[in-house]
Amino acid sequence: MSDFIRNSVAIGSKALDYLENEDSEIYGYLCDEFNRQRSTLQLIASENFASPAVLAMTGSVLTNKYAEGYPQKRYYGGNQFIDEIEDIARERAKVLFSTDHVNVQPHSGSSANLAVYQALLNPGDTVLAMRLDQGGHLTHGAAASVTGKMYNFQQYGLTPRSTDGGERIDFDYLRDLAKTSKPKLIVAGATAYPREIDPTVFRAIADEVGALLMFDSAHPMGLIAAGVHVSPVGIADVVTFTTHKTLRGPRGGAILCKHEFAKKIDSAVFPGLQGGPLEHVVAAKAIAFKEASTENFVRYGRQIKENSSILGETLIKEGFRLVSNGTDNHLVLVDLRDFDADLDGKIAQESLDSVGITCNRNQIPDDPRKPLVTSGLRLGTAAMTTSGMKGSQMSQVGSLIARTLRNRNDENELKLIKDEVNDLCSKFDPYPEGEMWPGMANFEA
């Protein structure tokens, strides 16, 4: 492992030297995973490479501190510096996203969503959200999720593939559903939707039926920070997000809201849902907000979108159909059926994995196959963009994907592809020696 990263992933290389000798099992797998991330292509749309500064902070002594409560209102002593850190995180998020209020304590995007439901709803209340198999998230009322058990979720989805422009959020259906079901809350946002989601249309429908609006921007929050995706802040009553997807920070969640909901949201997070906050992660979130406030990050956001669009165009040329016929965010959702009727998502994912292309199979709208098999692949460009890849690499990646899937039973061809993937990754190391901002050198003016 490079000294540079050794110094970033924990308190310093001494701790890793110790681990290497005293706990070689975990140390070994840390090295294996580090090498896997650098030597294979990371196309999982919800993943990214956090900066060494973020890595260092999540491995810091801040993990030792109990800080139940909020700045200046803690239940434990010794929080004078923690208070400063959490205040800085909140202030940076407020400026970055132009919001009234922010809660940076949710441990994850799911916790953030649960906290909002806890703040705004009573058990049994009606909520509208996007169906899981149409691109929604588990916490949008899926039957397997506690959200689906506690609240009366009614689900909307996408227009059929035959619609002009392909599958889009079916706002006519949503409006009718809102009128008949009279929801207390409407949830906008998705986990596998390749188009920008317009918060103003949701706002109008929510206003027509007197519902509150929550926008779950877990995926596009980095694009929003970069100003290349419309911001739901100030339009939705509450905005939830994750800090580790396109925003490129530590694994975690956060909530933005209007003044009137601040108290309710804060008490829903603590003491409603969580105990002690992860202040090492809160500090890393503060670092990520600062990184996302730079001009470099604006260029980064633009490049993510450009890369996604070039990847999509290449895949279409190679004979794939994309859900919604394209993309205007960081991800594409590939419908595999037109490319090869026998190819399902599971086989595709496994074939790509075998050559070092990491992605996830995904249900496509009205998928005829089961959720564990599926007929689709979800591919995102945030991580590849962080590692410095641009348009020509995206065309190469798109062609490599097609070649792999066409030749999935040809061992020799797969071996050649694997070498090419390896070679590409070696030229775009996300953690190059001596650079504070992985890949960021590529976005300098």
Ligand X SMILES: *Cc1c(COP(=O)(O)O)cnc(C)c1O
Q: Which is catalytic among the residues 38, 74, 203, 251?
A: 251
Please tell me whether residue 194 binds ligand X under the rule CB under 6 A: no
Interface pattern 230-249 for ligand X (x via CB under 6 A) = ------------x-------
Q: Which residues, in sequence order, are CB contacts of 402 under 8 Å at separation 6+?
A: 315, 318, 319, 320, 339
Using CB under 6 A, which residues numbered 71 to 130 contact ligand X? 108-110, 113
CB contact at 8 A, 287 and 57: yes
Alpha-carbon distances, residue 103 vs 176, 298, 316 (angstroms): 33, 24, 41
C-alpha Rg value of the chain to the nearest Å: 22
Stretch that binds ligand X, among 157-165, 189-197, 230-238, 402-410 (CB under 6 A): 189-197
CA atoms within 13 A on the CB side of 70: 17
DSSP string, 255-283: EEE-GGGHHHHHHIIIIII-SS--HHHHH
Q: Which is catalytic among the residues 216, 266, 344, 429?
A: 216
Alpha-carbon distances, residue 6 vs 13, 14, 55 (angstroms): 5, 9, 10
193 counts as catalytic = no
Stretch that binds ligand X, among 216-224, 338-346, 373-381, 389-397 (CB under 6 A): 216-224
Q: Give the 3-state secondary structure of residue 89.
A: helix
Interface pattern 23-52 for ligand X (x via CB under 6 A) = -----------------------x------
Q: Which is catalytic among the residues 6, 66, 125, 126?
A: 66
Please tell me whether residue 219 binds ligand X under the rule CB under 6 A: yes
CB contact at 8 A, 160 and 189: no
Cβ closer to ligand X: 109 or 183?
A: 109
Q: Which is catalytic among the residues 58, 159, 191, 242?
A: 242
Cβ closer to ligand X: 48 or 385?
A: 48
68 counts as catalytic = yes
Please tell me whether residue 139 binds ligand X under the rule CB under 6 A: yes
411 counts as catalytic = no
**How many chain residues interact with ligand X (CB under 6 A)?**
15
Which single residue is written with the structure tokens 């062609």? 399
Q: Using the rule CB under 6 A, which residue among 137, 203, 229, 280 binds ligand X?
A: 137
Which single residue is written with the structure tokens 């089961």? 370
245 counts as catalytic = yes
State in angstroms the smallest separation of the CB of 244 from ligand X.
7
Please tell me whether residue 374 binds ligand X under the rule CB under 6 A: no
Q: Is the peptide bond before 123 cis (omega within 30 degrees of 0)?
A: no
Q: Which residues, in sequence order, are CB contacts of 213 under 8 Å at separation 6+?
A: 185, 186, 188, 199, 202, 203, 206, 235, 236, 237, 238
Q: Which residue is nearest to ligand X (CB)?
A: 109
DSSP string, 51-67: -HHHHHHHTSGGGG---
Cβ closer to ligand X: 46 or 231?
A: 46
Q: Which is catalytic among the residues 20, 68, 196, 318?
A: 68
State in angstroms the smallest separation of the CB of 190 from ligand X.
6
Which residues are identified as catalytic?
Answer: 66, 68, 216, 242, 245, 251
* Binding-site ranges for ligand X (CB under 6 A): 46, 108-110, 113, 137, 139, 189-191, 216, 218-219, 242, 253
